[in-house]
Structure 1
């Protein structure tokens, strides 16, 4: 090996003058080319994000959540969500700018925006603007790190023409804000790195501080933003390790200044901004609302009563009420029809009166005696002037048929592990049927200590679990599967043995027989009691993490991280059964697969370099190794930090969780493409083979554009496709509508 070493060193030491052509190759490209390249990328981004942005004019996928939250902000009624408030406040701010009042609540996918006078285009424009801005930010990141126009353009176009990024940038969602914040973080830290050797200068402080601001935007949008913190944290630790070396000439005092500058700018300052958005959140949402029931009584007392609270009444014995399920918003109902003696699967039922849950117009339901229930006490001394409290035992008399709600040890129609609910007409005291018609009402507010709390029951506000005393099951309904024709397509009502599940919660909705002279009709405003901001914030943080960890149920479009890098599957966002149109969320397969190839090539290059150096064979020059390990290594670590942690998460996971990693991989891909088109050998003339780089950039970009247009009808949902055309696009593990 010594001869090899001598040979390599000799070639490396050769003082050959570079040719004129080589000098031209190494020269930095003129500034106008960068501007031209960035303008091209921006033009494509505007086209892909703004084309047909008003279509569809109906609620799409998670717009039901984030549009609804914007409406709550505009009405200032408190709601609960798992995500921090920054991006949601931006959406609400856009609604405020256009003068929207927030009356529409985005209840269901396919609800019509036009008939409800919703400024949905303004909301979507906010996402589109952020999606467009992301592209030049990526371009400038690559330029800042010294990459060519071709590499900068290629990186930005991977995201520009990615179908998943496009869809997320055209709808009322949080992902456009998240992805832009991640891109800004990478850009600001790249700019900061260019001033590394000029510490504590004004520009050094500006870009360090802006990195912290960008990080605060990431973590204030979604908590997965902590992965961006990990990325920057690793880079900062590497840099501090560099400065700790005594050869750099820093005293420990100087080093501590570097440490404290980064600690304040990247942790303390971003945390203050993060808290600020929660302060705004609590300040805006000062009225009682749908999120009250998640919070403590002290928190609720800090809110001004909403119109919902004004309509809330104390419930007394012998009141006739409607009972509403919190999750599905269906009303408890019964009618004279019976369960069939034998179900389709051969199981036997009690063949007694059906108890179901129904949805519909509230006024019609309030007038329907089959959806009305009278609260009957179990003790004769109770009167209609006595209020009901949680933990009381009651009977529920069905007004329409005069029977009593009952549950017993018979399997329910759709859930064989649950108990059947039915109606009994047995009035005999302490008979078997009497005992089976007793229900205890439990307070269902979050917290282990609340279930035994004795609290006066009010309509609309007090969440309840209705527990069957005899068999200890909780009354439950669901809308994922409806009863067949014999059950009129209603929701099944059954007894759930898992009594603490959040889906078991009901409300006493409205008192039907409340007279005008009843003193309960007189509204007495409650006294608002202040609660310290940090105490509110801490309570909300605990609940957000608690409920986030509970998102473990299966979902038909959930996917595991191993399927993401190759875009193997996606999510059905919207479908139009009349015109056979659909929006299916998936990535640009060409771009996704190219990124995986580049990531694999990088791992191969690192392995080859390490093995060759173990044998003292020096192949790459120092500049190339710095590019490979430092710049590209930073992007690679960023991709790993945004991808691999999802393998450890037990919650539901979807393809959109991969988009920040995809964005960083796009930066990485442009950099590695230039690297492989550069003469990196220790014995060669350094320089980029621009013809090769331009050719590969053009070929790969044409592939991106071709897939984008091929899949465009399903990304925009504007063109109905024939079943044969749908099947052509049903590649990998995608499950598209209208393929038959």
Structure 2
């Protein structure tokens, strides 16, 4: 075997062709190694730049969220709700809330960690934490920590998406120096949990998507499942978390559609292979999140085992599963000829009647029966008493009323009989009027109109009708309408009492009534003897679905006005905020308000993004392809994903009828910060495509060739410098806006009248401005 030296000797002392080729190969290899080392060193240096920036931003996030967190030492705004719920968890007392349990369980966990017993119930805004010995700093530290980590998550999202360091810093700074995010995450409120896990859902999905070319590996499964878990935590905190499912679900569907393409560049997938991808995503994005969502409700039911203020929202069957339940302890069987007071479950008014008549004509010109008024009255009164009478003759007393019985009701004070007939009610022309008639008519030709069927909710056949424990619908036997009431009061002729009418929609949940008491029952009645009752059991899914129905109903019923509610169109422009807390003596106040500079920049850039997309599409239609292929791909895919996330967390609020507040925009604001960071990089790093085509007169086109490497490097350096300069200006403006409005965010120091007035930029209804 010849050696390298032998090859050189055969060249007669000169380097032959083989020798030259070998030397060139060695030089090329050496250059490649050196270039690799240089790139590796550059990558390591770049990683260190990002890591250092992330550390600094995280420290600043903790400082801005935790600074002065003990002030004020009083209950602030909605801390009255979520602090109270934490105490109920610690006392194991059942309560009702329209939000899922995960976020509230975290507060209870914080209280449990510091050994608190939950004795303080956060009754009123302004109540002292110090006097009541509440570990409120521990409670507030939970959302403050989450709010701090949210800033880190925003930086990490931009980093994982491949954006430059200035873009990462700008996006995270918009959240870092935002007064609304700081103010909302320093208090015992749910939004810090919601926004953090929304951001983590986006981050985990990006990590998962980056592994799309290496499917079904350990990391691929890890980030798939973590995405689902984070999305589950979002919707387990508030139901608006469904918007996060939509914003991630859309790109998942697009990705699956691309995988189905037989002409895809990476190679076509067979139907079984595509089925594996589809099944994995169903498991990770639907099944696992739903099971985790159910898990938190199971924890909720397990902890809340004692009777509490939430009992009234649940059925008697549910209440029987709670220990110390008043309904279970006080339930008394009802017999025929008992005098009872019936109460509406939702509005809490009694079925009532008095001698006054309905007017001949109502305000809209319709004619009434001029019968005796039957109304809903909120106070205990003798006019609320009705005698329950069988529809058929029975011998003697002591006959129990049972589920499904057809009965009649006699009003004791006026000695008249309850009926409903085919006459329109005062407020609902489609519903029937309730009235009473005298004994002669009731026992004569109007007898059938006085017949009502008792239908106990979830009751069994022949189940005994009881006070408190039997929630029932009173259904008119001939016309099949259910007795119903609502919250709109009658006019003066009805003494502002509630209207009672016959509802044709008998399945409606608001048709439910119960008997509160049997007045005059002898003290020695055997029915008053209480047997020891055991706590009943109820299948988890049955409890879950009952609670879900109640939560959705009451969430949609939150339509009353609030002095600080606002409309979605106002949020991106930060037209008004919310007063959280005031202290008259020190003239201190906490006013929930975002950093106007950051909000207006982010909102403006959303409009700019829409304009760029529109302009690009019009240009393409006209044969002008002015964007680099990679730049366009990032603009549509990455920045477009952020824009979709913003739209998904914002636009649905326009169709909601419930109360809305500025804090509902926080998830969308975070997404707008991502769009802002991405677009700042796009604007200052934009350059025409290396093979862009430009039309000339006469329909001819010319092709612009690729730039030389030195020119590209010089332009890249200039773009990076411009990006840093623009980012510096934006960050400086953010810091100034945050600092200027900080006294309103932290509640200290108190501001003078001129200082307050200087901060009334738009419709900010600040206190102490006079």
Question: What band does the TM-score fall into relative to the shorter chain?
Answer: 0.7 to 0.9
Q: Which residue of 1 aligns with 2:467?
A: 459
| Cα distance in structure 1, aligned partners of 2:244 and 2:641 | 12
In the TM superposition, 1:574-723 aligns within 5 A as 585=592, 587-648=594-655, 653-682=660-689, 684=712, 685-687=715-717, 688=720, 689-702=722-735, 704-706=737-739, 708-709=741-742, 711-712=744-745
Q: Which residue of 2 aligns with 1:47?
A: 67
Q: Secondary structure at the match of 2:516?
A: strand
Q: Which residue of 2 aligns with 1:267?
A: 286
Contact 1:473 1:495 in 2 (8 A): no
Q: Which residue of 2 aligns with 1:223?
A: 239
Could you list the runs of 5+ residues in structure 1 that have no partner in the other structure? Answer: 1-22, 360-364
Query: Structure 2 residue aligned with 1:38, among 46, 58, 71?
Result: 58
**Structure 1 residue 332, shift from structure 2 partner:** 8.0
**Structure 1 residue 692, shift from structure 2 partner:** 1.5
Contact 2:316 2:327 in 1 (8 A): no
**1:178-226 Cα shifts (integer Å, max 9, x gaps):** 1111011112223334444554554443333222211221232233323
Q: Which residue of 1 aligns with 2:500?
A: 495
Q: Secondary structure at the match of 1:314?
A: coil
Query: Structure 1 residue aligned with 2:573, among 566, 569, 572?
Result: 566
Residue 90 of structure 1 pairs with residue 106 of structure 2: yes
Query: Structure 1 residue aligned with 2:531, among 495, 516, 524?
Result: 524
In the TM superposition, 1:106-505 aligns within 5 A as 122-240=138-256, 245-249=263-267, 252=270, 257-286=276-305, 306-316=325-335, 326-327=345-346, 357=377, 373=385, 375=387, 377=389, 385-388=398-401, 392-397=407-412, 430=442, 445=457, 456-463=464-471, 474=483, 476=485, 478=487, 492-496=497-501
* TM-aligned CA distance change 1:304 to 1:625, over 3 Å: same
Contact 1:316 1:386 in 2 (8 A): yes
Q: Which residue of 2 aligns with 1:731?
A: 762
| Cα distance in structure 1, aligned partners of 2:453 and 2:187 | 42
Contact 2:184 2:191 in 1 (8 A): yes
Q: Secondary structure at the match of 1:221?
A: coil
Q: Secondary structure at the match of 1:248?
A: coil
**1:223-280 Cα shifts (integer Å, max 9, x gaps):** 3323212222233344445555543246536655554444433333323322322332
| Cα distance in structure 2, aligned partners of 1:288 and 1:117 | 25
Range moving further from structure 2, 83-92 or 460-469 = 460-469
**1:671-699 Cα shifts (integer Å, max 9, x gaps):** 22233233544455224125413432234
* TM-aligned CA distance change 1:375 to 1:135, over 3 Å: farther
Q: Which residue of 1 aligns with 2:553?
A: 547
**1:82-106 Cα shifts (integer Å, max 9, x gaps):** 4433223333434444555556666
TM-score, with length taken from structure 1: 0.72
| Cα distance in structure 1, aligned partners of 2:407 and 2:85 | 35
Contact 2:592 2:745 in 1 (8 A): no
Range moving further from structure 2, 314-323 or 198-207 = 314-323
Q: How many corresponding residue pairs? A: 689
Contact 2:374 2:436 in 1 (8 A): yes
| Cα distance in structure 1, aligned partners of 2:126 and 2:402 | 40
Q: Tell me which structure has the larger Cα radius of gyration.
A: 2
Q: Secondary structure at the match of 2:497?
A: strand
Contact 1:332 1:355 in 2 (8 A): yes
**1:505-555 Cα shifts (integer Å, max 9, x gaps):** 5543345545553323333345666554445545655x2686278548454
Q: Which residue of 1 aligns with 2:697?
A: none
* TM-aligned CA distance change 1:523 to 1:126, over 3 Å: farther
* TM-aligned CA distance change 1:120 to 1:372, over 3 Å: farther
**Structure 1 residue 310, shift from structure 2 partner:** 1.5
Q: Secondary structure at the match of 1:392?
A: strand
**Structure 1 residue 631, shift from structure 2 partner:** 2.0
Q: Secondary structure at the match of 1:247?
A: coil
Q: Secondary structure at the match of 1:686?
A: helix
| Cα distance in structure 2, aligned partners of 1:194 and 1:440 | 66
Q: Secondary structure at the match of 2:469?
A: coil
* TM-aligned CA distance change 1:420 to 1:236, over 3 Å: closer
Q: Secondary structure at the match of 2:500?
A: strand
